[in-house]
Amino acid sequence: MSTPTKEAAEPASKIDMKESGGGGEVPSFEITLQVRRYDPEFSDEARWDEWQLTMYGTDRVLDALHKVKWNIDGSLTFRRSCAHGVCGSDAMRINGRNRLACKVLLKDLDTSKPIMVEPIKGLPVEKDLIVDMEPFFQSYREIMPFMVNNSPAPTAERLQSPEDRERFDDTTKCILCAACTSSCPVFWTDGQYFGPAAIVNAHRFIFDSRDDAGDMRLEVLNDKEGVWRCRTTFNCTDACPRGIEVTKAIQEVKRAVLTRSM
Amino acid sequence: MTQTKGTLYKGSGGMWSWVGHRITGVGIFFFLLVHVLDTSLVRVSPEAYDAVIGAYKNPIMIIGEIGLVGAIVFHAFNGLRIILVDFWSKGTRYHKQMLWAVMGLWVIVMIGFTARHVMLFLDGWGGF
């Protein structure tokens, strides 16, 4: 359960969507979709493939990928599960920035230019838009993403004041899509860096009043590959499809490491 | 696995300010290496020092010095911005505004410095 945060106002549509009166035709528009393809069974080289598609005002980038996969080229490979911005499967680089394909409406993009879709950076590409997420989840496991409480279990819930709950509310929203971690220039060049997502999930427990392992997590992150590798480029904050203030969370963990050691 | 180049990641101000900070930082480091060398020449002989410093008084070095001061001024102001992002609890929320402030201050300082520097050069370094 997380409180809804203020979302940015919906951007103005870049396409002139004609008002269709009555039962008229649903307005459509043309797009050019370019996808970065890689298939190690055929070539060690990645290449760009391009398709012209007719799409509609409610279509997202994911719908365009579906259209290609279902009607044109079944070999196009990408992950998606819920297709509604909850499961975090379809993080990819759309026009140079990490986004969830299921949350980007085509009409909000500049359709006069090709829409460019690439796999997220910094993780090994397996095929087309699918990357090996194991290094990402390994960092996640290392910060112990579970509640640790050493006191005897009460008969009912462990109570927490609304203020204490609010303290880590922002970081409960993570869906582990890796959009933040794979937008981080430090992570691209140093795969050992824990990355924003792991730190966000550590933050979620470090600042939870019911959790007793905050010190252990701070110990894990007080490492040369831990929070101190963050260079505050804010790419992660910009990439997060859940609107988590990722850099803010990392900075709070940095300050918690400092105040603890003092 | 070899891969032909994909596109560049399109970061915004935060990423490019970090790139700028890194480039100016490395640039300043190499300047300091040369600077330590030319200054230490005074221990060899004052004449050698004067000769080397005199070589700086030409138009190419003037442009180089403007570039150097530009790099230092950016690195200094952006460094203060990073300190605020690190230690001020609201710093992460205002990082973009602070970057605009850094660039505004940079323009003001560089207008002043460039004007004074070029004027001194055109005057033939009277008093230097």
Q: Is the pLDDT higher at A7 or at B117?
A: B117
Residue type, A155: T
Which pLDDT value is given to residue A24? 65
Helices within A90-242 (DSSP H only)? 134-142, 162-167, 185-189, 196-206, 214-221, 235-239
Average pLDDT over residues A128-154: 95
Looking up tokens 């603890």 gives A260
The Cα diameter of chain A in Å comes to: 70
Neighbours of B117 (CB within 10 A): 16
User: What is the Cα Rg of chain A in Å?
Assistant: 21
- Side chain identity at A185, as an amino acid letter? P
**Cα B37 from chain centre:** 19
The minimum CA-CA distance between B16 and chain A, rounded to whole Å, is 8
Mutate: best of A234, A245, A248, A257, partner B, most B CBs <10 A = A234
Q: Angle at CA A102, nearest 5°, toward A234 and A126?
A: 80
| Residue linked to tokens 């992570």 | A187
Distance CA A176, CA A111 (A): 29
Question: pTM score > 0.90 for this model?
Answer: no
Show residues of chain A in contact with B99, CB under 8 Å. Answer: none
Q: Which comes out higher in pLDDT, residue A231 or A14?
A: A231
Average pLDDT over residues A62-89: 97
Sorting pLDDT into bands at 50, 70 and 90, what band is A15? Answer: confident
Residue pLDDT tens, chain B, 128 long: 344 577 899 988 999 999 999 999 999 999 999 999 989 988 888 898 988 888 888 888 889 999 999 999 999 999 999 999 999 999 999 999 999 999 999 999 999 999 999 888 888 766 55
- pLDDT of the residue at B3: 45
A-B Cβ pairs (cutoff 8 Å, strict) = 81
Contacts of A44 in chain B (CB under 8 A): 1-3
Is the pLDDT at A7 greater than 90? The verdict is no
Distances (CA, A) of B30 to B27, B33, B34: 5, 5, 7
Q: What is the mean pLDDT of residues A142-164?
A: 93
A contact residues 124-183, partner B, Cβ 8 Å cutoff? 124-125, 183
Residues of A in contact with B4 (CB under 8 A): 45-47
